[in-house]
Structure 1
Amino acid sequence: MTKLSLRAVQKLTCKKRDAWWTVFLVDPLATRLLLVVARFRFITPNRVTWAALFIGLASAGFFLRGDTGSLIVGAVLYHLSFVLDCIDGKLARLKGNGTVFGGWLDYVFDRIRVLFCALALMGGQFLRTDDERYLLAALAVVFLDMLRYVDALQIYKMRMSMRTKIEKVTKEREEAERAVRGLPEEAEEPEQLVFMEDLLRDHPGAAAETLREQAGAANVVDLHEQFRGQFPWYTRIRRALLRTRIRPHLVSGIEFQMFVFIVGPLIGQILWTTVVSAALLMLFELVIMYKFWLSTRDYTRVMEQLSQETPRAGAIAPQLHRGRHRRAAQEDELRAEEHHRAPEPEGHPGLPHRPHPHATPHVPGFPQQTAQPGTPPQHSDTVPFPHLGTARSSWPHGTPGTWENSR
């Protein structure tokens, strides 16, 4: 492997946004260890993940003992375990040998480490003091850690779902416009749809209005517009923090773990440190939930705008709702056929109705004459109709015959 400088390794492996604990207390040590670890081919990211788990379990063993010296050793080992947990991802990015299984392994081992360390730390203090509050603290630590990561994964899933639906509706609208204009699908290159959060992530120091103008206002979808409108000071704080790679989420799962398993044991205030860090974690989680709720409202607004922007009044793209329109046309044809189909005559089921070619039309108010079989019909040149004048008979003059002959 080509020898790289420390600055090059930091640029290649460090995230653009990260927790402040990682930026100040982990990355300076992790990147220097990475320069040494990356030289050995047998050291893979998955093996580093296993090493981080074993060291984390060792810290749990010292936490269980409960004395002051063991708590300090356990805190140091937990921090070393977290440093290795960061190195495995950096090593995968540096060598490009990361795998999907490695990402899953890293996530699962993190949860196992937190579970064992929480039970050991609080259990050790309960055995030494018989204070039942430590048992409640253990449950709170495990619950909040699970809540934090489950909530983060679910919010990420819903955000990706909203983005996918917006992209799908936008694509269908563009196809409908091309169909209305009679253009083939390859006639025009569709306009690129971008999201404001991606632009802000790639350009952390730029303003949202500037990025919107550069990308084109019609092509930018902003799902955090209401949040920035209600908290305009958030943008200024975010820019200031991102200059040092610190994300605005100041108390996340990482800071919560570090306060519980490192700060608390080092200062000898495990219970109070856990309570304060748990309260701060819940505060920031509520802010994230509120931000996500506002994002769903922005999503609803964007979808309504897309549904109202039809290509032309009354125009429907032929590729949209094909099945429904085809079924409707078939039903109309069946109804029209049934409407024009003559009913069967009474007394002759199954025989088609054939009207007599010389039948006299029936006029309401007058009895209708019917011919008896074998009897010639009665004819006259004129039939008086007091209110309609004189109507000619439909039978031709001077043409004698019977009913059978007239058929």
Structure 2
Amino acid sequence: MTSFTLADVRERTYKRRDAWWTVFLVDPLAARLVVWVANRTSITPNQITFGAGVLGAGSAVCFALGTWPWLVAGALLFHLSFVLDCMDGKIARLKGNGSVFGAWVDFIFDRIRFFGCMLALLIGQWALTGEVLFLLLAPVVTFLDLVRYLNGSQVGKTRQSMRAQLRAAAEGDTRAPAEEDPENTEPDGGPEADRDGGADADEAGAGAEVVFVEEVLRENPELDHEQARERSAEAGTRVIDVHQGFTRKFGWYGRLRSALLRGRVRPHLFSGIEFEMFVCVVAPLTALASAVVPGATLLVPVVVFSCVALAAFEALIVYKLWLATRDFGVEMARLRGED
């Protein structure tokens, strides 16, 4: 019987970069639980997904009850549900027993859990306090969560299209490459993983004579932008960079990005994962203040902050994409001129 170690879990199941909430607050616990589950049980990823759904349902019930002890219990159950949600993918990668249908089930359960818990939290608070503001926040949270999914899909698709066209132009292929929908491998079902400029893993090794600077930075986070260009050029490859405009405007970003990636944290600091966790964990946990001062809570400010932070990061991603499309035109002209 195979005996898995913590090192095996880290090597085989950890993503190269992930949300900071996952890296610091989920993986340390989830990895140890995965070792125990993988070595001592025959539990499947789908069974773990179902368990996460049960905890999510329990969290929603707690939120609906509304008072501060139930809010705290609901927050803890939601976080534990997310830990299980991360474990199912790790078990699947570690044992190789995942399935396409299981990925679909995981995604659907994720969305049901978040929306169910979010609505139970806000409607429960409205029922308890009579404050209409809680009802008004529900469609705002729903709208922003929908926007970030649609935006992530389209940004990923646009980046793939640009990379494919640039690679084809560099290799002398004048035909327009077919566009492919971006794949989604985030633990929360979100498409944030490659929206900050990183290349998809399945493209990183294609066309060996053509190198995108973002690929070099992703593989070598210790390098800055200029060092990545120089290293690629010295290797005799054709260097393509569609983030020159962003780098010129925000020189500090490269240093921050490298520092974060060395810790396995992606630069998209407030993604869908943080959004869900702030709404369904941090916000209800602020009800602990009610144990000291009756009625005191920061639930509304935290939810509002979550909405503002998510919107700001989505806007930043769109701005970076806009700058990249300008650099894309320059790079295409350069490559065609070279040919």
TM-score under structure 2 normalisation? 0.82
Q: Which residue of 1 aligns with 2:20?
A: 20
Q: Which residue of 2 aligns with 1:244?
A: 263
State the alpha-carbon separation in 2 of the partners of residues 139 and 249 from structure 1. 24
Shift of 1:35: 0.4
- Residue aligned with 1:297, SS: helix
Q: Which residue of 1 aligns with 2:106?
A: 106
- Residue aligned with 1:22, SS: helix
Q: Which has the higher contact order (CA 8 A, sep 6+)?
A: 2
Listed as ranges, the matches of 1:104-143 within 5 Å are 104-143=104-143
Shift of 1:40: 5.2
Aligned with 2:224 (options 187, 201, 207): 207
Q: Which residue of 1 aligns with 2:320?
A: 291
Shift of 1:169: 2.6
Q: 1:236-258 CA deviation, whole Å, 9 max, x = no partner?
A: 11122222222222111111111
Shift of 1:103: 2.6
State the alpha-carbon separation in 1 of the partners of residues 77 and 208 from structure 2. 53
Q: Which amino acid aligns with 1:169?
A: A
Q: Which 4+ runs in 1 deviate beyond 6 A?
A: none
Q: 1:279 to 1:174 in 2, by over 3 A?
A: closer
Q: Which residue of 2 aligns with 1:147?
A: 147
Q: Which residue of 1 aligns with 2:193?
A: none
Q: 1:128-161 CA deviation, whole Å, 9 max, x = no partner?
A: 1111110111111111112112211221111111
Q: Which residue of 1 aligns with 2:282?
A: 263
State the alpha-carbon separation in 2 of the partners of residues 100 and 309 from structure 1. 43
Shift of 1:38: 1.1
For structure 2, the 5+ residue unaligned runs are 176-206, 288-297
Q: 1:174 to 1:255 in 2, by over 3 A?
A: closer
Residue 157 (1) aligns with residue 157 (2): yes
Q: Which residue of 2 aligns with 1:306?
A: 335
Q: Which residue of 2 aligns with 1:401?
A: none
Q: Which residue of 2 aligns with 1:8?
A: 8
- Please say if residues 13 and 90 of structure 1, whose CA atoms lie closer than 8 Å, have aligned partners that are also in contact: yes
Q: 1:145 to 1:24 in 2, by over 3 A?
A: same
Q: 1:196 to 1:99 in 2, by over 3 A?
A: farther
Shift of 1:124: 0.4
Residue 274 (1) aligns with residue 274 (2): no
More deviation, 212-221/88-97 = 212-221
- Residue aligned with 1:194, SS: strand
State the alpha-carbon separation in 2 of the partners of residues 304 and 105 from structure 1. 45
State the alpha-carbon separation in 2 of the partners of residues 119 and 191 from structure 1. 49
Q: Percent identity?
A: 48
Q: Which residue of 1 aligns with 2:209?
A: 192
State the alpha-carbon separation in 2 of the partners of residues 219 and 107 from structure 1. 38
State the alpha-carbon separation in 1 of the partners of residues 213 and 105 from structure 2. 32
Shift of 1:218: 5.2
Q: 1:104 to 1:304 in 2, by over 3 A?
A: farther
* Cα RMSD for the two superposed structures: 2.0
- Please say if residues 75 and 280 of structure 2, whose CA atoms lie closer than 8 Å, have aligned partners that are also in contact: yes
State the alpha-carbon separation in 2 of the partners of residues 166 and 99 from structure 1. 34
Q: 1:225-271 CA deviation, whole Å, 9 max, x = no partner?
A: 11111100111111222222222221111111111111111112221
- Residue aligned with 1:38, SS: helix
For structure 1, the 5+ residue unaligned runs are 176-189, 311-407
- Please say if residues 191 and 219 of structure 1, whose CA atoms lie closer than 8 Å, have aligned partners that are also in contact: no
Q: Which residue of 2 aligns with 1:220?
A: 239
More deviation, 135-144/24-33 = 135-144
Q: Which amino acid aligns with 1:248?
A: P
TM-score under structure 1 normalisation? 0.69
- Residue aligned with 1:220, SS: strand
Q: Which amino acid aligns with 2:285?
A: L
Q: 1:8 to 1:144 in 2, by over 3 A?
A: same
- Residue aligned with 2:98, SS: coil
- Please say if residues 126 and 134 of structure 1, whose CA atoms lie closer than 8 Å, have aligned partners that are also in contact: yes
Shift of 1:219: 1.1
Q: Which amino acid aligns with 1:265?
A: P
- Please say if residues 193 and 219 of structure 1, whose CA atoms lie closer than 8 Å, have aligned partners that are also in contact: yes
- Please say if residues 78 and 262 of structure 1, whose CA atoms lie closer than 8 Å, have aligned partners that are also in contact: yes
* Higher helix residue share: 2
Q: Which amino acid aligns with 1:160?
A: Q
- Please say if residues 18 and 265 of structure 2, whose CA atoms lie closer than 8 Å, have aligned partners that are also in contact: yes
